Amino acid sequence: MKTFKRLCIALAPLLAFAAFAGSAATVLADDGPKAATQMEMGAPAAADFGEPVRVIAMLRDDSGKPVAKATVGFYSPTTFLAGASGLVLLDRVTTDAEGVAAIEYAPRMPENAHVVARFEGDAQREPSQADMTIAVNGNHQLYEAEAGIRVPFLNKWGLVAIMSTVWGLYFLVVTLILRIAATPN
């Protein structure tokens, strides 16, 4: 028990210094208020089901100047199996010199597509986001399944030739066995 008390007494100044240094670092890292940002989005008002469209987000600071080299996340709201909903990340893109980030987005649900662009903020700027809805035209099957096994270099006539050769060899073997069996000893 005495050893534990001695250890606590010895470590107390060290722990106090660590707490002070941590809070001092936090105070020193704060450079003042962050600049506000504004996000705008652009895309076609309508898109065909399953066909890609270009969705852009423009990030500007509070004075209207473009924000370059900032990461913008593009999200799509969705509902999961048990009814829980949330945002699904489509892509993360870095803005160019004009403050523009763009993705190719293909709507996969036969309903209006909702896309959210979000800038999470950084050391100098506050976060911002924008969202938009794209009307989706059409409702067709995007994937057509084919039955059977597909071998790229083998078509149906090649398969017929292979099967004919195999059955021809069986016929030849059976004929030879019957000849051998019919030969007198």
DSSP string, 112-161: -EEEEEEE---SSB--EEEEEEEEEE----S-----S---TT--HHHHHH
What phi, psi does 28 have (nearest 5°)?
-70, -30
Q: How many CB atoms lie within 10 A of CB 118?
A: 20
102 is written with which tokens?
Answer: 């763009």
88 & 171 share domain: no
The range of the structural domain enclosing residue 156 comes to: 151-185
96 inside domain? yes
The answer on 181 and 126 residing in a single domain is no
Q: What is the pLDDT of residues 132-145, one digit of tens each?
A: 999 888 877 667 77
Q: Are residues 87 and 61 in the same domain?
A: yes
| pLDDT tens per residue across span 66-102 | 999 999 999 998 887 877 888 889 999 999 999 999 9
The answer to whether residue 8 scores a pLDDT higher than 90 is no
Total Cβ atoms within 10 A of residue 16: 10
This prediction's pTM:
0.59
How far is it, in rounded angstroms, from Cα 22 to Cα 31? 16
* Angle, CA of 105, 103 and 119, to the nearest 5°: 115
Provide the Cα torsion 108, 110, 111, 117; round to 10°: 10
Structural domain contains residue 165: yes
If you search the block for the tokens 């962050």, which residue do you land on?
34
Q: Does one domain contain both 121 and 94?
A: yes
Is there a single domain that holds both residue 23 and residue 58? Answer: no
| 158 shares a domain with 121 | no
pLDDT confidence of residue 24: 45
The CATH number of the domain holding residue 69 is: 2.60.40.10
On the question of pLDDT at 116 being above 80, the answer is yes
% of the chain residues with pLDDT over 70: 81
Q: How confident is the model at residue 14 (pLDDT cuts 50, 70, 90)?
A: low
